[in-house]
Amino acid sequence: MTADTQPQLNFDCETGNYHTFCPISCVAWLYQKIEDSFFLVIGTKTCGYFLQNAMGVMIFAEPRYAMAELEEGDISAQLNDYEELKRLCSQIKRDRNPSVIVWIGTCTTEIIKMDLEGLAPKLEAELGIPIVVARANGLDYAFTQGEDTVLAAMANRCPSQAPETEEAKADRNAIQKLLTFGRKKEEVQQEASEYVDHPPLVLFGSLPDPVVTNLTLELKKQGIKIDGWLPAKRFTELPVLQEGTYVVGVNPFLSRTATTLMRRRKCKLIGAPFPIGPDGTRAWIEKICSVFGIEPQGLAEREAQIWQGMEDYTQLIRGKSVFFMGDNLLEISLARFLIRCGMTVPEIGIPYMDKRYQGAELALLQKTCQDMGVPLPTIVEKPDNYNQLQRIQALHPDLVITGMAHANPLEARGINTKWSVEFTFAQIHGFTNARDILELVTRPLRRNHALKDLGWEKLVREEATV
């Protein structure tokens, strides 16, 4: 079969609506990632209730976010937006003194045409603290695209050259001394020589610190040095973005950030699959190496080792089918990985599809299906949930990865489900975290096996006696 006659991926689009978790939930992980930030969500009481429920698990940590609730006077334009926001931001500066305040605009700010972008520069100059405006409303954006809008706004704040003040030099020298304390000069020089001479490389996407460390070390093994991350742990440490700086994403929902980096900051985007699963991580590293003219070392052996360590999980799902309803925009990468594990995927629902940004991932998905000898899935953008439920009823897949709204109704119909939001908050990137993906995927299947071994009648009797 020639390349021209190979089956092609089939794309479809249905309702045009986003059936997803609200994008303002990005505050949950971003305020923890950017340690010197404060997030101010501007919306109604409904937004406040949502944040209370979505972030209830973090109640014991002191949060660096707040809710600016729009009252009737705000919506009817009886109150002055500037004065109200100035009062709140002045209080935030006085109580918390963050390095940056991020305004998160919700649906209501869109409906009443609140000019946040116009108010922010004036207030920033008056208070002397950076104010970044990000739209994360559910009218325009799906679940994880809230992070995308925040990072796109922060990309415009990245410096074009490193500050060379005396204070910055002193800080850098102090950090260098701390990092090399107790080490011989020869060891430090040897470590510096481990890197290949290549253009600056910046990675974008919010990941937990252990995952950042893992990916940094994986690239270091290939002689590749990372010059910065967007976002950085601190707003004051945003990476330098010069014309010609190479950038590569770690998540498939950051297309707006990628566009901003290319168009506004004149960066060069490395179009690679995403480092989810051992196959995706290897392809991600190989693509970066190829751009810099580096021959990758040991990646095939590293991937094979990871697959061997997951054999106990892959045995459970090999030959089974999984259906993606669509929620967090991780669907393409997860489907590709699960197909490599031996599953079949009849349909991938996804809220938003940027074929350019996910081009390399789509190509790897197609190649994976051909290598595994399984049919190509249908990719449905903005799927109609009613129609999806009919298709699920007809296909009766072994597992459905869905938003929380449909999990219980599907379980009541005898269909195994897994919440897609769990993959958003779990550590799933890199070689070492591939096993955690399968831990999540197989959990409902293992639960059902255990229930069958226990016996449904015995389980019902035990529950009745509780």
Q: Are residues 252 and 354 in the same domain?
A: no
Tell me the percentage of the chain whose pLDDT exceeds 70.
84
Q: What is the pLDDT of residues 297-338, one digit of tens each?
A: 999 999 999 999 999 999 999 999 999 998 899 999 999 999
At residue 332's C-alpha, the angle toward residues 326 and 337, to 5°, is 120
Q: What is the pLDDT of residue 2?
A: 47
Q: What is the pLDDT of residue 61?
A: 53
Q: Are residues 135 and 29 in the same domain?
A: yes
Q: Are residues 202 and 306 in the same domain?
A: no
- Single residue among 126, 141, 156 that ends a domain in this structure: 141
> What confidence category does residue 449 fall into, taking pLDDT thresholds of 50, 70 and 90?
confident
Query: Could you give the CA distance from residue 118 to residue 116 in angstroms, rounded to a whole number?
Result: 5
Containing domain of residue 411, as a range?
301-456
Q: What is the pLDDT of residue 50?
A: 83
Q: What is the pLDDT of residue 190?
A: 53
Whether pLDDT at 463 is above 70: no
- Single residue among 296, 326, 348 that ends a domain in this structure: 296
Q: Are residues 264 and 399 in the same domain?
A: no
Q: What is the pLDDT of residue 18?
A: 80
In a domain, 105, yes or no: yes
> What confidence category does residue 464 fall into, taking pLDDT thresholds of 50, 70 and 90?
very low
Collapsing DSSP to helix, strand or coil, 386 comes out as helix
Q: Are residues 227 and 331 in the same domain?
A: no
Query: Could you give the CA distance from residue 233 to residue 69 in angstroms, rounded to a whole number?
Result: 28
Whether pLDDT at 170 is above 90: no
Q: Are residues 315 and 411 in the same domain?
A: yes
Burial of 86 by CB count in 10 Å (0-12 exposed, 13-18 middle, 19+ buried)? Answer: middle
At residue 285's C-alpha, the angle toward residues 283 and 289, to 5°, is 115
Instruction: Give whole-number Cα distances, 417 to 56, 330, 405, 421, in Å.
Output: 23, 16, 11, 12
Burial of 190 by CB count in 10 Å (0-12 exposed, 13-18 middle, 19+ buried)? Answer: exposed
Query: Could you give the CA distance from residue 407 to residue 417 in angstroms, rounded to a whole number?
Result: 6
Q: Are residues 279 and 320 in the same domain?
A: no
Q: What is the pLDDT of residue 466?
A: 47
In a domain, 268, yes or no: yes
Q: Are residues 73 and 109 in the same domain?
A: yes
Q: Of 259, 267, 273, 38, nearest to 145 (Cα)?
A: 259
In a domain, 154, yes or no: no
Whether pLDDT at 198 is above 60: yes
Q: What is the pLDDT of residue 431?
A: 94
In a domain, 158, yes or no: no
Strands 347-350 and 417-419: unpaired
Q: Are residues 272 and 313 in the same domain?
A: no
Strands 268-269 and 246-249: parallel
For the record, the structure tokens of 81 come out as 């937006």
In a domain, 370, yes or no: yes
- CB contact at 8 A, 232 and 239: yes
Q: Residue 88: CB partners within 8 Å, gap ≥ 6?
A: 40, 66, 68
What average pLDDT score do residues 122-129 get?
Answer: 93
Whether pLDDT at 239 is above 70: yes
What mean pLDDT is reported for the chain?
86
Beta bridge partners of 37: 100
Q: Which one has a higher pLDDT value, 190 or 154?
A: 154
- Single residue among 141, 161, 176 that ends a domain in this structure: 141
Q: Provide the number of structural domains found in the chain.
A: 3
For the record, the structure tokens of 128 come out as 């002397």
Between 160-169, 214-223, 241-250, 447-456, the lowest mean confidence (pLDDT) is in: 160-169
Q: What is the pLDDT of residue 253?
A: 95
Query: Could you give the CA distance from residue 9 to residue 19 in angstroms, rounded to a whole number?
Result: 23
Q: What is the pLDDT of residue 460?
A: 46
> What confidence category does residue 339 fall into, taking pLDDT thresholds of 50, 70 and 90?
very high
Q: What is the pLDDT of residue 155?
A: 95
> What confidence category does residue 448 fall into, taking pLDDT thresholds of 50, 70 and 90?
confident
Between 85-94, 202-211, 352-361, 457-466, the lowest mean confidence (pLDDT) is in: 457-466
In a domain, 182, yes or no: no
Q: Are residues 287 and 333 in the same domain?
A: no
Q: Is the dihedral of CA 39, 138, 335, 442 positive or negative?
A: positive
> What confidence category does residue 189 fall into, taking pLDDT thresholds of 50, 70 and 90?
low
Q: What is the pLDDT of residues 25-78, one digit of tens each?
A: 888 889 889 999 999 999 888 888 888 776 665 444 567 778 887 766 555 555
Q: Of 201, 314, 308, 191, nearest to 247 (Cα)?
A: 201
Q: What is the pLDDT of residue 446?
A: 85
Q: Are residues 315 and 328 in the same domain?
A: yes
Q: What is the pLDDT of residues 216-235, one digit of tens each?
A: 999 999 999 999 999 999 99
Q: Are residues 306 and 438 in the same domain?
A: yes
In a domain, 347, yes or no: yes
- CB contact at 8 A, 285 and 276: no
Q: What is the pLDDT of residue 172?
A: 47
Q: What is the pLDDT of residues 174-184, one digit of tens each?
A: 545 554 556 65
Residue 371: CATH number of its domain: 3.40.50.1980
In a domain, 155, yes or no: no
> What confidence category does residue 263 fall into, taking pLDDT thresholds of 50, 70 and 90?
very high
Q: How far apart are the first and last CA of the chain?
A: 62
Q: What is the pLDDT of residues 380-439, one digit of tens each?
A: 999 998 899 999 999 999 999 998 888 889 988 889 999 998 999 899 999 999 999 999
Q: What is the pLDDT of residue 54?
A: 67
